[in-house]
Amino acid sequence: MKRKIFQVDAFTSKPYCGNPAGVVIDAVGLTDEQMMLIAKEMKLSETAFVFPGSTGYDFEVRFFTPTEEVDLCGHATIATFSLLKELGIINKEEVIQKTKAGLLNIKFLGNGMVIMQQAPPLIIAREIMLDELCKIMGIRNTDVGISELMLLPEIWSTGLKDILLPVKSIDVLKGMSPSMDELIDYSRKMDVSGAHVFTIGEENTIWCRNFAPLCGIPEESATGTSNGALGACLYNKGWHEALSFTSHQGYWLGSPSQIFVQVQNGSNPEVWVGGKAVTVLDGEIVIPE
C-alpha cells in the first residue's frame, strides 16, 4: 500500500529555505504506529497527517516528529494548508483545523501567505532562575535580558510550552552552543518543548533561534508556535499597542525563514502566525505493515 506524500518548505518563498515539513494529504486508515514510522523515515522535524473534517471543522491534522506526536506544529500547519490550497482541495479563504491543541482558524491572504490562529496565550512561569539555564545554553548570566522590555526568561504557550529567553545582542544569539543532553533533561524537568532564544536588532527586527532536542529537534529553522508565544509575550509587555512583526530564524543553519506574527487587539487578544511555503517534493511512500 502507498500514499501520496509531499515535502513543503514553510516560512519562505524560495525552495530549500525555511523549514521543511512532510505532508500526507490522505491519512485515513493509518495507525499511530504507521504515522510514527513515516515521520521517522522522512527525518524532518515534523510530518503532518491530514484527515477529513466533520461538524465544526474542515480538516483534522496530526503532527509527528521523528520521536513523538505533538499537539501542534506551526510550520507544518503552514506547509499543509499552503499545499491543500495549491492542489485545489481548498477553494475558500478561511477554514478550521482540528488539532490536539484545539480548533484553530486558518486564513489565506491574497499575497500567497497562510496565517494560522494560535491557541489562547498562556503564561506558565515568570522569571526563571538563570544559573542553570545559562550554563546549559552556553552563555553568561550577563548576556541575558533586553533593556526596558524583558530581563529574565519566561515560559509561555500558544499551543506548545516554550522557554522564551531574551539575549542582549545578535552576537550572543549567533554564538550560543547549548548542551543538547542537558537541555533535554532541563526541558523535561520544566515540562517545555524547548528554548526559544531571541533578541531585537536594528529597526526593531526580531532574530531568534529555537532548540528542542527533547522533541528530536536539536535546532529548528522556523517555529510557528514558539514565535506565536513570543508575540503573546511581547504584546503582554506592551512592546507595541497593535503588534505585528516578522521573526528571522534559521539564518545560521543556512535555511533563512521569515515568520509573520500578528496579535489582534482586544480583551482576549488573538495570536496569528503565518508565512509562505513552497512544495519541493511530490511522490509516494510505502505504508509499513
Instruction: Enumerate the active-site residues.
Output: 46
List the one residue out of 156, 109, 153 whose CA is nearest residue 130: 153
List the one residue out of 143, 136, 135, 206 whose CA is nearest residue 172: 143
Report the interhelical angle of 180-190 vs 130-137 (nearest 10°): 150
Query: What is the maximal distance between C-alpha atoms in the chain?
Result: 58
Contact at 8 Å (CB) between 119 and 104? yes
Contact at 8 Å (CB) between 188 and 214? yes
* Separation between Cα atoms, residue 156 and residue 226, nearest integer Å: 9
Beta bridge partners of residue 243, listed in sequence order: 263
* Separation between Cα atoms, residue 160 and residue 157, nearest integer Å: 5
Contacts of 62 (CB under 8 A, 6+ apart): 27, 35, 48, 49, 51, 69, 99, 100
* H/E element, 157: strand 154-157
Beta bridge partners of residue 271, listed in sequence order: 263
List the one residue out of 31, 105, 37, 60 whose CA is nearest residue 22: 37
Phi-psi region of 270 (alpha: psi -120 to 50; beta: other; left: phi over 0): beta
* Separation between Cα atoms, residue 252 and residue 175, nearest integer Å: 10
What are 70's three cell numbers? 505533538
